[in-house]
């Protein structure tokens, strides 16, 4: 019997840009003998479409869009046991890259058609699940400023560049108490980053996750006191030399807590911004999501 998939494409996500992709995707899946029901949604309709698909008898649910879209779908599918497929229709496609999914549409469809399943980790903060990472400090402020510029007609990438300049010009720091598994520190920091599994810091895979199933969080803390120090850190990150940065610390943990004198902090999760009540409690959710993944290299050969 042919595999039956529900494919949900976020028309507002990443590089989709309102293009009618439904017929093309249905044809691409059909070429592999898969019956795919493709639905294109916008904005808040995404969550309703995923919930409806979970209530139906599909062999898997596939999402197309950017990392924010994939994070939303993963959050709703967590613990369901139903396979999750991804189509790299975003701007950066961080999750697809880390999973090893080809960044062109036909290759991604072929991965799903091969039906190789892998159980990977998710992470959560105060009960809210995320797929890639969560951040407190400068990055959420940049995203909020970017969204403000997009409302004024700027496109996403130029808006983010302008937002980065304006946020660094203001350069605010937060007084936080960060603790994890017997370690703790009170500090003034412009940025705390929590990743779902560890990120590499050296070239050629700087900024990538070699594994998505180690049951770890990547806790990164910066102690930089000026915008110039942050820019230096970013430059070293691009060059794969982040380990040389003395005011940057990375730890592998399973749980972490961030406390603040503020009742609420602005938090990013997979690029989406929300206000969350403190303290922020992070934990890993080992093997909480089943995904269509490329065959391991030895098997592929």
pLDDT digits (tens, 9 = 90+) for 94-149: 999 999 999 999 999 999 999 999 999 999 999 999 999 999 999 899 888 888 88
> CA-to-CA distance for 111 and 100, rounded, in angstroms?
10
Instruction: Give the torsion through C-alpha atoms of 231, 237, 241, 246, to 10 deg.
Output: 50
Q: What is the mean pLDDT of residues 243-255?
A: 93
Cβ-Cβ contacts under 8 Å for 153 (sequence gap 6 or more): none
Residue 295: predicted pLDDT: 86
Q: What are phi and psi of 70, to 5 degrees?
A: -65, -35
* pLDDT: which is higher, 148 or 292: 292
In 56-169, the DSSP E strands lie at 60-65, 84-88, 117-125, 128-130, 133-137
* 3-state SS assignment for residue 227: helix
Whether the per-residue pLDDT at 151 is higher than 90: the answer is no
Q: Which residues contact 80 (CB under 8 A, 6 or more apart)?
A: 54
pTM of the model: 0.90
Mean of the per-residue pLDDT values of the chain = 91
Taking residue 2's Cβ as centre, other Cβ atoms within 10 Å add up to 12
Q: What is the pLDDT of residues 194-219, one digit of tens each?
A: 999 999 999 888 899 999 999 999 99
What does the alpha-carbon distance between residue 203 and residue 124 come to, in Å, rounded to a whole number? Answer: 28
**Residue 267, both tokens:** 């938090």
What's the rounded mean pLDDT across residues 158-175?
88
What does the pLDDT look like over 47-67, one tens digit per residue? 999 999 999 999 999 999 999
Lowest mean pLDDT among 24-33, 145-154, 263-272: 145-154
């Amino acid at each position: 019997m042919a595999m039956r998939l529900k494919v949900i494409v976020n028309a507002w996500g990443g590089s989709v840009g309102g293009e009618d992709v439904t017929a093309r995707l249905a044809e691409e899946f059909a070429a592999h003998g898969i019956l795919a029901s493709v639905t294109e949604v916008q904005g808040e309709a995404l969550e309703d479409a995923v919930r409806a698909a979970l209530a139906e008898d599909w062999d898997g649910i596939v999402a197309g869009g950017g990392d924010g879209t994939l994070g939303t779908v993963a959050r709703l599918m967590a613990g369901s046991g139903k396979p999750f497929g991804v189509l790299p229709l975003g701007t950066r496609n961080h999750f697809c890259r880390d999973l090893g999914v080809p960044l062109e549409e036909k290759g991604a469809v072929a991965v799903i058609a091969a039906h190789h399943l892998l159980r990977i980790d998710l992470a959560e903060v105060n009960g809210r699940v995320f797929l890639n990472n969560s951040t407190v400090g400068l990055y959420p402020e940049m995203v909020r400023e970017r969204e403000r510029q997009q409302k004024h007609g700027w496109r996403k990438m130029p808006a983010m560049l302008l937002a980065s300049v304006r946020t660094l010009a203001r350069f605010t720091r937060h007084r936080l108490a960060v603790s994890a598994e017997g370690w703790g520190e009170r500090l003034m920091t412009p940025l705390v980053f929590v990743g779902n599994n560890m990120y590499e810091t050296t070239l050629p895979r700087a900024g990538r996750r070699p594994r998505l199933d180690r049951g770890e969080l990547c806790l990164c803390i910066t102690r930089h006191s000026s915008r110039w120090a942050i820019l230096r850190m970013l430059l070293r990150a691009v060059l794969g030399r982040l380990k040389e940065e003395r005011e940057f610390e990375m730890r592998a943990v399973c749980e972490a807590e961030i406390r603040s004198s503020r009742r609420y902090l602005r938090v990013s999760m997979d690029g989406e911004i929300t206000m969350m009540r403190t303290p922020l409690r992070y934990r890993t959710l080992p093997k909480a999501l089943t995904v269509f993944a490329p065959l391991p290299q030895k098997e592929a050969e």
